[in-house]
Chain A
Amino acid sequence: MNISLNWLRDYIDCQLSVPELEALLRRAGLEVAGVKKRGVSIEKVVVAQVLESVQHPNADRLSVCKVDDGSGQPRQIVCGAKNYKIGDKVPLALPGAVMPGDFKIKTGKLRGVESEGMMCSAKELQLAEDAEGLLILDASSVPGTELKNLFPVETVLELEITPNRSDWLSHVGVAREIGVFTGKVAQVPRPALPKSIDAAGHASIEDAGCSYYTLRKISGVNVAPSPQWLVDRLISIGLRPINNIVDITNYVLFELGQPLHAFDAGKITGGIRARGAIDSERFQALDGQEYHLPAGTLVIADDNGPVALAGVMGGEGSGVTESTNDILLESAIFDPSRVRRASRALGVFSDSSYRFERGVDPDGVATASARAVELILQLAGGTAASELLVAGSVPARHAVTLRHDRARALLGTELSDADIDAALQRTGLEKGLDGQWVIPGYRRELTREADLIEEVARVVGIEDIQSRAEGIFAQGSSADAAYDFTMALRRKLAGAGFHEARTGTLISANAADLIGPSVSLKNPFGDDQSRLRNSLIPGLLAAVVRNFDQGAKSIPLFEAGRIFNSEGEFQRLALVATGERQSPDWRGTDVRPWDAFDLSGLVVRIAGATIQPLTNPPTPFGAAAVAALNGKRIGIVGQLLPSVARSLGIDGALLAAEFDLDAWLAVDAREKTVSPLPKFPASSRDIAFIAQLALPYGEVQAAIASLNEPLLESVKLFDLFTDPKGEKIPAEKKSLAVSLTFRSPERTLTTEEVNAATDRIKAVLREKTGVDLRE
Chain B
Amino acid sequence: MEQQVDALREEALALISAANSAALLEAARVKYLGKSGAVTALSEGMRNVPKEERPKIGKILNDLRAAVTGALEKSQARLLEAADSAAVAGLDLSLPGTFPAPGTLHPLTQLMDRAVQCFRRMGFAIADGPDIETEWHCFDALNTPPDHPARNEQDTFYLHDGRLLRSHTSSVQIRVMETTPPPVRIIAPGSAYRRDEVDATHLAQFTQMEGLYVAEKVTLGDLKGTLEFFFRELFGSGTDIQFRPHFFPFTEPSYEIDIRAEALGGEWMELAGCGMVDPAVFEAICKQRGDRVYDPDKVSGFAFGFGLERLAMNLSRIPDIRMLVENDLRFLNQF
CB contact between A494 and one of B95, B104, B160, B220 (< 8 Å): that residue: B104
Residues of A65-124 contacting chain B, CB below 8 A: none
CB contact between A495 and one of B102, B122, B123, B213 (< 8 Å): that residue: B102
- In the assembled complex, the Cα of A453 lies from the Cα of B278 at a distance in Å of 11
The reply to whether A471 and B213 form a contact with Cβ atoms under 8 Å apart is: yes
- Name the residue of chain B whose CB is nearest to the CB of A543: B327
The reply to whether A468 and B221 form a contact with Cβ atoms under 8 Å apart is: yes
- In the assembled complex, the Cα of A582 lies from the Cα of B132 at a distance in Å of 42
| A165 interface contact, C-beta 8 A | yes
The reply to whether B245 and A502 form a contact with Cβ atoms under 8 Å apart is: no
Contacts of B280 in A (CB 8 A): 448
The reply to whether A547 and B329 form a contact with Cβ atoms under 8 Å apart is: yes
Tell whether A358 pairs with B149 under 8 Å between CB atoms, given A500-B109, A523-B195, A524-B157: yes
- In the assembled complex, the Cα of A22 lies from the Cα of B188 at a distance in Å of 34
Interface residue tally of chain A, by bracket? 35 or more
The reply to whether B215 and A472 form a contact with Cβ atoms under 8 Å apart is: yes
Interface residue tally of chain B, by bracket? 35 or more
| A266 interface contact, C-beta 8 A | no
| A527 interface contact, C-beta 8 A | no
Tell whether A487 pairs with B220 under 8 Å between CB atoms, given A451-B252, A469-B225: no
Shortest Cβ gap from B120 to chain A (Å): 8
Contacts of B26 in A (CB 8 A): none
The reply to whether A340 and B147 form a contact with Cβ atoms under 8 Å apart is: yes
The reply to whether A163 and B126 form a contact with Cβ atoms under 8 Å apart is: no
- Name the residue of chain A whose CB is nearest to the CB of B225: A467
Shortest Cβ gap from B249 to chain A (Å): 8
Tell whether A477 pairs with B127 under 8 Å between CB atoms, given A502-B108, A505-B193: yes
The reply to whether A501 and B327 form a contact with Cβ atoms under 8 Å apart is: yes
Tell whether A458 pairs with B225 under 8 Å between CB atoms, given A502-B106, A557-B327: no
| A443 interface contact, C-beta 8 A | no
| A398 interface contact, C-beta 8 A | no
- In the assembled complex, the Cα of A543 lies from the Cα of B322 at a distance in Å of 13
Shortest Cβ gap from B334 to chain A (Å): 11
Contacts of A480 in B (CB 8 A): 125-126
- Per-position binary interface string of chain B over residues 133-170, scored 1 when its CB falls under 8 Å from any chain A CB and 0 otherwise: 00000000000000111100000011110000100000
The reply to whether B149 and A163 form a contact with Cβ atoms under 8 Å apart is: yes
The reply to whether A341 and B158 form a contact with Cβ atoms under 8 Å apart is: no
The reply to whether B123 and A474 form a contact with Cβ atoms under 8 Å apart is: yes
- In the assembled complex, the Cα of A179 lies from the Cα of B99 at a distance in Å of 69
Tell whether A569 pairs with B325 under 8 Å between CB atoms, given A467-B221, A474-B185, A525-B197: no
Shortest Cβ gap from B82 to chain A (Å): 27
The reply to whether A450 and B252 form a contact with Cβ atoms under 8 Å apart is: yes
Contacts of A522 in B (CB 8 A): 157-160
The reply to whether A462 and B243 form a contact with Cβ atoms under 8 Å apart is: yes
The reply to whether B247 and A162 form a contact with Cβ atoms under 8 Å apart is: yes
- Name the residue of chain B whose CB is nearest to the CB of A501: B327
- Per-position binary interface string of chain B over residues 240-281, scored 1 when its CB falls under 8 Å from any chain A CB and 0 otherwise: 000111110000111110000000000000000000101110
- In the assembled complex, the Cα of A480 lies from the Cα of B276 at a distance in Å of 25
| A336 interface contact, C-beta 8 A | yes
- Name the residue of chain A whose CB is nearest to the CB of B176: A477
The reply to whether B327 and A336 form a contact with Cβ atoms under 8 Å apart is: no
The reply to whether B300 and A477 form a contact with Cβ atoms under 8 Å apart is: no
Contacts of A470 in B (CB 8 A): 222, 225
The reply to whether A503 and B327 form a contact with Cβ atoms under 8 Å apart is: yes
The reply to whether B300 and A409 form a contact with Cβ atoms under 8 Å apart is: yes
Tell whether A494 pairs with B116 under 8 Å between CB atoms, given A165-B247, A458-B245: no
Binding-face segment, A138-146, A548-556, A644-652:
A548-556
The reply to whether A505 and B205 form a contact with Cβ atoms under 8 Å apart is: yes
The reply to whether B131 and A499 form a contact with Cβ atoms under 8 Å apart is: no
| A53 interface contact, C-beta 8 A | no
Tell whether A458 pairs with B183 under 8 Å between CB atoms, given A479-B127, A505-B193, A543-B327: no
Contacts of B158 in A (CB 8 A): 521-523
Residues of A447-466 contacting chain B, CB below 8 A: 448-451, 453-454, 457-458, 462, 465-466
| A504 interface contact, C-beta 8 A | yes
Closest 4 CB pairs of A and B: A412-B219, A412-B221, A29-B245, A162-B247
A-B contact pairs, 29 of them (CB 8 A): A28-B245, A29-B244, A162-B246, A165-B247, A357-B149, A411-B220, A412-B221, A450-B279, A457-B253, A468-B219, A470-B222, A472-B183, A472-B185, A477-B125, A491-B105, A494-B102, A494-B103, A497-B101, A502-B327, A505-B165, A505-B191, A506-B157, A519-B132, A525-B204, A543-B326, A550-B328, A552-B329, A569-B132, A586-B98
17 more A-B residue pairs beyond the given contacts A483-B126, A497-B102, with a C-beta to C-beta distance below 8 A = A29-B244, A163-B247, A340-B149, A410-B220, A450-B278, A467-B224, A470-B222, A472-B185, A472-B215, A474-B185, A479-B188, A494-B102, A494-B103, A497-B100, A499-B332, A547-B327, A582-B100
